[in-house]
Chain A
Amino acid sequence: MLSAQSLALIDREVAKYPADQKRSAVMGALRIALEERRSTGETPEARCLNQEVIEFVANYLEIPPVAAYEVATFYNMYDMKPVGKYKITVCTNLPCALRGGVNAAEYISHKLGIAIGETSSDGMYTLLEGECMGACGDAPVLLVNNHSMCSFMTSEAIDKKLAELK
């Protein structure tokens, strides 16, 4: 279900913990599984975690599937719903909101023609609101695909970023 590369990465996570505590690697393993799905998935449905992947990861770590499911649903960076090729998460918490975070989100929403929480019909973009990313000083900030952090996202910066995300 997962590639040999992903499994090797998971093994590295597992190796960080005592042999009888493989369970500790569940967060890393789910992240790696999601990363593989995101980078190889052709459709929004194929880019998120689903029951089979979670069960596979759980079995790989020899933990009950429901235990992995608890973790996957607790943290919202694990995508459990179909997601676009580019998942854009804009911080709208108070400090950012005071410095244009909400406006940035609205600008993107307008530009992509999708509401917050939606995925564009071509399956390219998903727009989400996020919680404080610890970069309030750089507001407005957004996160692309969980990993790439973009600061000072004025309208121009957003235009430029979206042009890159094709």
Chain B
Amino acid sequence: MLEIEIDGKKLTVPQGSTVMDAAHSVGTYIPHFCYHKKLSIAANCRMCLVEVEKAPKPLPACATPVTDGMKVHTHSDMAKKAQAGVMEFLLINHPLDCPICDQGGECQLQDLAVGYGNSASRYQEEKRVVVGKDMGPLVSAEEMSRCIHCTRCVRFTEEIGGFQEIGMANRSEFSEILPFLGKTVDSEISGNVIDLCPVGALTSKPFRYSTRAWELSRRKSVSPHDGLGANLIVQVKGNQVMRVLPLENEEINECWIADRDRFSYEGLNSAERLQKPMIKHDGKWHEADWQTALEYVVKGLNGVSRDHGKDAIGVLASPHSTTEELFLAQKLARSFGVNNVDYRLRRSDFRADAAQQGALWLGSSIVDLASAKSVLVVGSTQRQEQPLLASRLRQAVKKGSELNVIHVADDALLTKLNAKLIVSPLALVNALAQVLKAVVAIKSGESAIDLAAVSVSAEAQRIAESLCGAESASVVLGNVAQHHPAFSELLSLAQEIARLSGARFGVLAEAANSVGAELVGAVPTRGVFGAAVSAGLDAQQMIAAPRKAYVLLNSEVEFDSYNPQAAVAAMKSAETVIALTAFKAEGLLDYADVLLPIAPFSETAGSFVNMEGRLQTFNGVVRPLGEARPAWKVLRVLGNMLGISGFEYTSVEEVRAEWQGKGDIAPSLNNVLASVSANVQPAATALVRVGEVPLYQADAICRRASSLQATRAAAVPVAHAAQSVLDAAGVQSGAVVVLKQGDGQVRVALEADATLPAGVVRLATAHPTTIALGGMFDPIEIKQG
């Protein structure tokens, strides 16, 4: 520990602290631009100059390590003069166009110029002009003359984004911040540079010029997208969400948010929002009032249950719904006598249900995962599924943790991997079994799973050694593993690996409220907090054996299902499809019979339980649009109209209190299966699809966010396959082929891709151009175009 005195305040700080760190720890503010606590030290703006006794010149606080007995003055004449001098230089070439600058009112340069600058400039000469740059549809770099060359944006893309997409070209007076010629900034977390930029050089393209920062009110919220549960500040003006910023939470999202969290709000204001209930009569849609629509729904449900029995009704809920909505949906269904409730539309393997003893979750806190010394990620397209978690794992690798990957494609994770096994989905189980076999050998343990047929590859051995050798380790299953037709086997293997190696294991919850849905029993085999229920059909069974009526909560089955082809066919064959939805989706208009407009997360109070089992509540930030109503209210009224008791709630808090009263979250989280089993035979060779959900197709809101949809990540998907697959099919890379699954087919370009294993065709699911196809990881045929 070192002693230091800052402006007369004595304190001790750990070895290696900078003067800036020390000042922050006693709440002393030192002006700065280039310094950022999450980025490396560049010390190029010089705004943080302070006087240090015995030093002949002022020193930059951000880059000066504390030495024992140091005495620092942040407001002495010397310091003030230095700071004012730096400010004068920074403003020399700055256009001072605050009145027309989008950053006006929330600009660090503006604020500090008030504190440290002069009211008029002594500089009369010409200022330099820097032409604007194109960084893509999200980040505007239109006014680069404003840039003060702090390089925060450069360091962000390199250090946090993992790939330097922005650089500073040229030298001295000619320095310019730019992306590589002709390239845009494509990182899935690029929007953070807007927050980082201390001036108005990088601004939000969708938000620009729409309003002034001081006209916005700030409301706290939680991201409704991935399972991380990033904390948000939603900014609102005139009952409209205008923009979204991160709310710092070191344990979850640190000070970042992914682009999906930041720009998806455009979907909330999209023209596709459903504002009135709608009923289909003779194939034509009519707007209706709530009373009529609800009566129609009640009549439909009663009719189907009278004619075909309660079992003919299925409820498919989206895990992007709030916990209260999911709780009420399953309560309503079960009280009405319907046991077919599921939120796992994209799952294809439900064999683990019987052995499941609690809600599936991450198996640790996010912080614990990021600080584990060894991590094995199985079946995860990490940067699409959980962009911020992928970034956090990259930081972990830099701090010395070992990242291992078993996956179906050798995606660029922009970090160093300890070991990887890239195999066809058909060989995924075998790959994980190899690791288990190696772990069994290292630990001289025994496994209930028969591993005789498995031969351990060198990479699997390395993974096993990494997991067994680390003082803390985690095995986590991503979306690909969870959607995989052998999910239960993968989970069993992970459990065995964890048991023997001492690692933790869990799943990277796909959606904002997957864990919440598990907890409140939005599954056919378990009730609230695992209460016993009479079992119903799971999502797949409800599709495989079509029901007569479906109730969809926030679900668009063509995008949200494992097998869109089968799901849409099931919807079309039903007598009635009742959709509670925020959007007038094309698919719903096609197969639904009644649309009830419900409020998205921004317009209703509710809660999400993130992947680490953390309950995060939020309030609506704006009033529901048009006649949309919070889904919990719609479900409550439906309960009343169906004559079910226990639906007399007057607030969402009452709903929350009811489900919370039935148990506790922590003890209900449990990944351990009562019995494990896996068929570890090396894979048969067949051509299978790798059909992941694209970054901006994951949920209904981001699918309608126009700027996200203009990014490269949202481009119309093309198919990829290894050269060997192309050769076998006799097609050239780039040729248009017909891909066939079941009785659906699509025409699409097929490109050679060296990152894919043999025997797979990678083509995204959940996209309008591919919904004619079948299961995400099912066999697929290539036919010449």
Interface residues of A (CB under 8 A from B): 51, 55, 64-67, 69-70, 73-74, 76
Contacts and interface: CB of A to CB of B under 8 A. Distances in A.
B298 interface: no
A64 B167 CA distance: 10
B164 A74 contact: no
Report which residue of A51, A55, A70, A74 has the largest number of chain B beta carbons within 10 angstroms of its beta carbon.
Answer: A70
A73 B170 contact: yes
Given A64-B164, A64-B165, A66-B165, A74 B171 contact: yes
A51 B169 CA distance: 13
Contacts of B158: 64
B728 interface: no
Contacts of B148: none
B182 interface: yes
6 contacts: A64-B158, A65-B180, A66-B165, A66-B183, A69-B180, A74-B170
B179 A66 contact: yes
Interface residues of B, number: 16
A64 B168 contact: no
Nearest to A65: B180
A65 B179 CA distance: 9
Contacts of A74: 169-171
A74 B183 CA distance: 20
B181 A69 contact: yes
Report which residue of B164, B167, B168, B179 has the largest number of chain A beta carbons within 10 angstroms of its beta carbon.
Answer: B167
Contacts of A66: 164-167, 169, 178-180, 183
Contacts of A76: 171
Report which residue of A55, A65, A66, A70 has the largest number of chain B beta carbons within 10 angstroms of its beta carbon.
Answer: A66
Interface in B153-201: 158, 163-171, 178-183
Contacts of A70: 167-169
B180 A73 contact: no
Contacts of A67: 164, 167
B181 A51 contact: yes
B170 A55 contact: no
A76 B171 CA distance: 9
A73 B164 CA distance: 16
A154 to B, nearest CB: 33
A121 B583 CA distance: 64
Nearest to A76: B171
B169 A73 contact: yes
A149 B179 CA distance: 36
B458 to A, nearest CB: 19
Contacts of A69: 167, 169, 180-181
A51 B182 contact: yes
Contacts of B170: 73-74
Nearest to A74: B171
B155 to A, nearest CB: 12
B163 A64 contact: yes
B167 to A, nearest CB: 4
A154 B591 CA distance: 89
Q: What 9 pairs between A and B have smallest CB-CB spacing? A: A66-B167, A64-B164, A66-B180, A73-B169, A65-B180, A70-B167, A51-B181, A73-B170, A74-B171
